[in-house]
Amino acid sequence: MPDYDKWSRWLLETRFGGDEKIAELGLRMLTQLRDTLLEKASLMGGQVLLDVGAGDGFIAFGAVEKLGPRGRVILADISRSLLDRAREAADKMGVTDRCEFIEASAENLSAIATESINVVTTRSVLIYVEDKLRALKEFYRVLKPGGRTALFETVNRKEQWRPSEIWPGVGVGLYRVEEIEPVRDLAVRLVSSLGSIPLKTMTSAGHTEYLHMCEDAGFAATYMDLYIASGPAPPAKIESLLKVSPNPLWPTPSELMDKIFSAEERTHFIEYMRPLVESGKGIARLSSVFIWAFKAPIPEKPW
């Protein structure tokens, strides 16, 4: 395996576990998310967009054509490997002259000049930032007067769980406790083992907290769409789900099982969960927020 950092490894390998169906579903959702963000960003030709936590450029490259030949996209990320991959993609697309690549964190955008950006975008970036307010203040600083953010973040999901439900540590489905009673102890051990992983930066805020932080960062107006959805967990082969990590800071279920389960326990857990996850018996709940915040002056029709 190439010597990728944890961020590029997740984006390129463990996000979808190498499963084409999981990848197809995930990319469909990501495309809808990106299009929603950019639609309300009201991009215009000639503007400058800064994509923070740009990864391999999914949002940034979606904005390039909307900005036109005089527009510019700045891709900022803490991963040099992902920026190199994004630069290769820009070369293939023929848009390198309209792109800039900066290695930077959301909390420190000192490489970006004050009041030089029209739109700041992020997707699931602040969830990994410990000092979210500092990051939002940086977004505010680099924006031109009248500039806006177009952000998407996961918000606290556990408040959507019933006390009678449990997450087994594989896939996105929640199950009634009695449904997985024969392997409940193993599931609890699997999920509890995540507590030993240093996840200090992975802190999920609620939508009200984001609203208040936008105000404290200096934004003159903030509009938020809270997105909550519930439905059947998408069925998938358990062997694929064992190779899927929910985020860059977590190991895959398979990697965790290797450390905490005996061979017999691993086999028992997988074979019991197989018909549940492969038939989509679990329930999936999503909780997230879209955030569009303006730096004064506020446009006449901001939203």
Per-chain mean pLDDT for the chain: 87
The average pLDDT across 129-147 equals: 96
Query: Of 74 and 37, which is predicted with more confidence?
Result: 74
251: confidence class by pLDDT, cuts 50, 70, 90: confident
- The CATH code that applies to domain 6-157+204-230+286-294 is 3.40.50.150
Residue 133 has pLDDT above 90, yes or no: yes
- CA count, 13 A, side-chain hemisphere, 150: 24
For the segment 187-239, what is each residue's pLDDT rounded down to a tens digit? 999 988 876 555 444 556 888 999 999 999 999 999 999 988 899 998 989 99
Sign of the torsion formed by the C-alpha atoms of 156, 139, 73 and 226: positive
Q: Percent of the chain at pLDDT above 70?
A: 87
Residue 3 has pLDDT above 50, yes or no: no
Sign of the torsion formed by the C-alpha atoms of 31, 94, 64 and 12: positive
Measured CA to CA, the distance from residue 142 to residue 160 in angstroms comes to 35
Measured CA to CA, the distance from residue 161 to residue 94 in angstroms comes to 46
Measured CA to CA, the distance from residue 237 to residue 239 in angstroms comes to 5
User: According to DSSP H, which parts of 74-206 are helical?
Assistant: 80-93, 132-142, 184-192
Residue 69 has pLDDT above 50, yes or no: yes
Query: Would strands 283-294 and 143-154 be described as parallel, antiparallel, or unpaired?
Result: antiparallel
Residue 20 has pLDDT above 80, yes or no: no
Tracing tokens 């949002």 back to the chain, one arrives at: 59
The average pLDDT across 100-105 equals: 96
The average pLDDT across 58-84 equals: 92
For the segment 267-276, what is each residue's pLDDT rounded down to a tens digit? 999 999 999 9
CA distances in angstroms from 236 to 60, 174, 229, listed in the order given:
30, 14, 19
pTM of the predicted model as reported, rounded to 2 decimal places: 0.85
Task: Indicate the range of 179-193, 204-218, 289-303 predicted with least confidence.
Answer: 289-303
Query: Would strands 175-176 and 165-166 be described as parallel, antiparallel, or unpaired?
Result: antiparallel
Query: Of 190 and 16, which is predicted with more confidence?
Result: 190
Query: Would strands 72-77 and 48-52 be described as parallel, antiparallel, or unpaired?
Result: parallel
Encode 38-67: b = buried (16+ Cβ within 10 Å), e = exposed. bebbbbeeebbbbbbbbbbbbbbbbbbebb
Q: What is the pLDDT of residue 4?
A: 42
Q: What is the pLDDT of residue 298?
A: 87
Query: Of 201 and 23, which is predicted with more confidence?
Result: 23
Is residue 76 helix, strand or coil?
strand
Looking at residue 49, what DSSP letter applies?
E
Measured CA to CA, the distance from residue 86 to residue 89 in angstroms comes to 5
The average pLDDT across 16-21 equals: 68
For 94, counting Cβ atoms within 10 Å of its Cβ (0-12 exposed, 13-18 middle, 19+ buried), the class is: exposed
Q: What is the pLDDT of residue 250?
A: 78
Q: Which two tokens stand for residue 194?
A: 């995540």
Could you tell me if 279 and 41 are in contact, meaning their C-beta atoms sit under 8 angstroms apart? no
For the segment 259-268, what is each residue's pLDDT rounded down to a tens digit? 999 999 999 9
Encode 191-223: b = buried (16+ Cβ within 10 Å), e = exposed. bebeeeeeeeeeeebebeebbebbeebebbbbe
Task: Indicate the range of 4-18, 82-96, 123-137 predicted with least confidence.
Answer: 4-18
Residue 75 has pLDDT above 90, yes or no: yes
Residue 41 has pLDDT above 80, yes or no: yes
In the chain, where are the structural domains located?
Answer: 6-157+204-230+286-294, 161-197+234-281
Q: What is the pLDDT of residue 194?
A: 77
